[in-house]
Amino acid sequence: MPKPQQPEMSFAQALNEAKGVIVQLSNRVKADADKIRSQQQTIVSQSSTIAQQETRAAEQDAQVARHEEQIVALSARLHEIEAAREQAETILNRQGEKITSLQAANADLEARLADHKSQIARLSHERDALRAQLPSEEDAAALAAMTQLLTKAAPAIEKAKKSSSSASNAASVPAGQMRLVDTDDDAAVAQAA
């Protein structure tokens, strides 16, 4: 069957139809242009966001690098502090040992001091006891007088002994007794029989 033929369009209809197609295409182009502009704005805003994020990332990288430097410096400082602490502990241990030895020496000296005090107290007591046994001033004076008397009487006693030995048969004094006689010196002399 042959196709039915469509009636031919007039120039005005064709023009109107072409106008409609152009308007549709124009509307589509405008919509596409709006979409493109919107996408361009999105791209621009996203580019700005990306640039900000890149700036932030660079700042964070710099901050991380600074923190790493600080960590390295702090680690070195920590090692120094640890070494200083160990050295201080060694010194403290040595000083503790010295203190212990000094305390032991101090205890030994205190014991010696106590012994010396005890000896001093004992010697003081002995000195006081010996001092109590010493003759008093009266005893010393009597002893001096006796010594002086004996010194003066010694020649007379010798003389008396000599004379008594020659006259021993005629003596009436029993043996072992003494009698006092007056001498030319007016001194009392003990004459042994």
| CA distances in angstroms from 26 to 34, 130, 132, 166, listed in the order given | 12, 147, 149, 193
pTM of the predicted model, to two decimals?
Answer: 0.37
Residue 110's H or E segment, with its range, is: helix 11-133
Question: Which amino acid, one-letter code, is at 145?
Answer: A
Kindly report, residue by residue over 37-70, the tens digit of the pLDDT.
999 999 988 888 899 999 999 999 999 999 999 9
- DSSP, res 134: S
Q: Using DSSP, state whether 143 is helix, strand or coil.
A: helix
